[in-house]
């Protein structure tokens, strides 16, 4: 069953990981897809090639989400190419693991700017376009299980993920009258570039795996269904919600 037939889907940070899977997954579900990427030209080109192999139109637009003009440029380029924006998946993010007491100011500020400011600008730019179009839309933010629980080496990161989740709650209210739904997905631990070094520590990896009732860490493709569902008309009465996609990690106390 194709959930996104005829829709135009935009995904930020889609040259790798969850964003790439969400972009290719949207094409599998029948959408044309525009991706934002930061530096990885080859990754972006191969993501577009996968989208086109599926018979859908693809477009890659380079830009740093921390800069507000990246958002307006991304939306304008996508509208030029595909005529409209139906779905925004705000996914780009960083997590440079670091201890709290000696957190470098630059690391803290950059993490805030990419994860929180970046999501804010992208969501706002997409919403402006959707309001102008007049036929609603769907925004899905990639938050995290880390919106709900902490991490000793993530004191700069977890507040951004809680912030993104909160942003979806407030924009759901602000945009409801325009028929624009806003939800977040909360991935648990998904094997991507963002945690490659952290999980290279075999003890840490075994600990994280042991916390998951389904018995494995996630793959980027595990995020396709939940994101496509929230993006689609199947979720027509879902807004302001958050969907944990963590193999049960969050509820696993004892």
State which of residues 85, 190, 224, 228 lies at the interface with ligand NAD (CB under 6 A): 190
| Strands in the chain per DSSP E | 8-11, 32-37, 58-62, 87-90, 137-142, 180-187, 242-245
Query: Is 144 labeled as catalytic in the residue annotation?
Result: yes
Q: Which is nearer to ligand NAD, 64 or 79 (CB)?
A: 64
DSSP 95-107: -----STT--HHH
Residue 15 binds ligand RM4, judged by CB under 6 A: no
State which of residues 151, 176, 179, 240 lies at the interface with ligand RM4 (CB under 6 A): 151
Q: Which does 24 bind (CB under 5 to 8 A by kind): ligand RM4, ligand NAD, none?
A: none
State which of residues 124, 138, 154, 189 lies at the interface with ligand NAD (CB under 6 A): 189
Residue 65 binds ligand NAD, judged by CB under 6 A: yes
Q: Please provide the distance, in angstroms rounded to a whole number, between the alpha carbons at the two ends of the chain.
A: 37
Residue 15 binds ligand NAD, judged by CB under 6 A: yes
Q: Which does 93 bind (CB under 5 to 8 A by kind): ligand RM4, ligand NAD, none?
A: ligand NAD
Apex 178 CA angle, 174 and 180, nearest 5: 75
* CB of 179 vs ligand NAD, minimal distance in Å: 26
Catalytic residue among 146, 157, 184, 232: 157
Q: Which does 58 bind (CB under 5 to 8 A by kind): ligand RM4, ligand NAD, none?
A: none
State which of residues 10, 59, 114, 116 lies at the interface with ligand NAD (CB under 6 A): 114
φ, ψ (nearest 5 deg) of residue 157? -90, -45
* CB of 202 vs ligand NAD, minimal distance in Å: 17
CB within 8 A of 90, min separation 6: which ones? 12, 118, 119, 122, 123, 139, 140, 141, 142, 164
Q: Which does 44 bind (CB under 5 to 8 A by kind): ligand RM4, ligand NAD, none?
A: none
Closest CA to 239 of 171, 144, 143: 171
Fill in the DSSP letter of residue 146.
G
Residues in the chain: 254
Q: What is the spatial distance between Cα 127 and Cα 119, in angstroms, rounded to a whole number?
A: 12
* CB of 44 vs ligand NAD, minimal distance in Å: 9
Query: Is 204 labeled as catalytic in the residue annotation?
Result: no
CB count, 10 Å around CB of 129? 20
Residue 141 binds ligand RM4, judged by CB under 6 A: no
Return the active site residues.
Answer: 144, 157, 161
Q: Which residues are near ligand RM4 by CB under 6 A?
A: 95, 144-146, 151, 154, 161, 189, 194-195, 198
């Amino acid at each position: 069953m194709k959930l996104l037939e005829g829709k135009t889907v935009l995904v930020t940070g889609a040259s790798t990981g969850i964003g790439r899977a969400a972009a290719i997954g949207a094409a599998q579900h029948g959408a044309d897809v525009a991706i934002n990427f930061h530096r990885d030209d080859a990754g972006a080109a191969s993501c577009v090639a996968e989208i086109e192999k599926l018979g859908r139109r693809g477009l890659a637009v380079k830009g740093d989400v921390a800069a507000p003009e990246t958002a307006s440029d991304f939306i304008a380029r996508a509208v030029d190419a595909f005529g409209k924006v139906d779905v925004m998946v705000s996914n780009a993010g960083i997590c440079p693991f670091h201890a709290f007491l000696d957190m470098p100011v630059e690391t803290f500020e950059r993490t805030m700017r990419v994860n929180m400011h970046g999501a804010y600008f992208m969501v706002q730019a997409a919403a402006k376009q959707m309001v102008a179009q007049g036929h609603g839309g769907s925004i899905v933010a990639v938050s995290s299980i880390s919106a709900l629980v902490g991490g000793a080496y993530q004191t700069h990161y977890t507040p951004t993920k809680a912030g993104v989740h909160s942003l979806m709650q407030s924009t759901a209210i602000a945009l409801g009258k325009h028929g624009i739904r806003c939800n977040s997905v909360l991935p648990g631990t998904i094997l991507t570039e963002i945690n490659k070094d952290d999980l290279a520590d075999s003890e840490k990896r075994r600990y994280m795996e042991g916390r998951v009732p389904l018995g494995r860490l996630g793959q980027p493709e595990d995020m396709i269904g939940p994101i496509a569902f929230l993006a689609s008309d199947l979720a027509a009465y879902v807004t302001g919600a958050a969907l944990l996609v963590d193999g049960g990690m969050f509820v696993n106390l004892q």
